[in-house]
Amino acid sequence: MSDQRMTWQNPRILCMLLLVFLCGATAGALAMRMGTSSRATRTYWREGGREISLDRFRRELNLTPEQAKDMEVVLNDFVMYYQTVQEQMQEVRSSGKARILQILNDTQKNRFLQMVSDWQTKQVK
């Protein structure tokens, strides 16, 4: 008699875990995108935006030189953290996409790639 319990090696379980993981990553990416879509944040991320924002904070908050220096450190840390998270998200997406493509046949791969392309187009708008 063989043991019929589900194990981690079961392809159904692995596919389900991958799907759950990808859904979570997508939800996280959307939350990050929505959370950073405010006007002030968008100004901050543009080329030269760090200086514009820091100058604006200095002016509008009337920061002392010490506060401005501390603010610059915090903003630099935030930028580095944000960039690291974005790079990790890109790696997660790329890895998940590659793993999904390994599962699919050629017809399914084409349809999947079209779905991803459509979704990315909607995200840009």
Residue-level pLDDT at 47: 47
Q: Which residues of 62-74 are buried (b: 16+ CB within 10 A; e: fewer)?
A: ebeeeeeeebbee
Residue-level pLDDT at 73: 87
Query: 26-52, pLDDT tens digit by residue?
Result: 777 766 665 554 444 434 444 455 556
Residue-level pLDDT at 123: 73
Which residue positions in the chain have pLDDT lower than 50? 1, 37-47
Q: DSSP per residue over 2-15, as a string?
A: ------TT-HHHHH
Q: Where are the domains of the chain?
A: 32-124
Cα distance between residue 61 and residue 49, in whole Å: 17
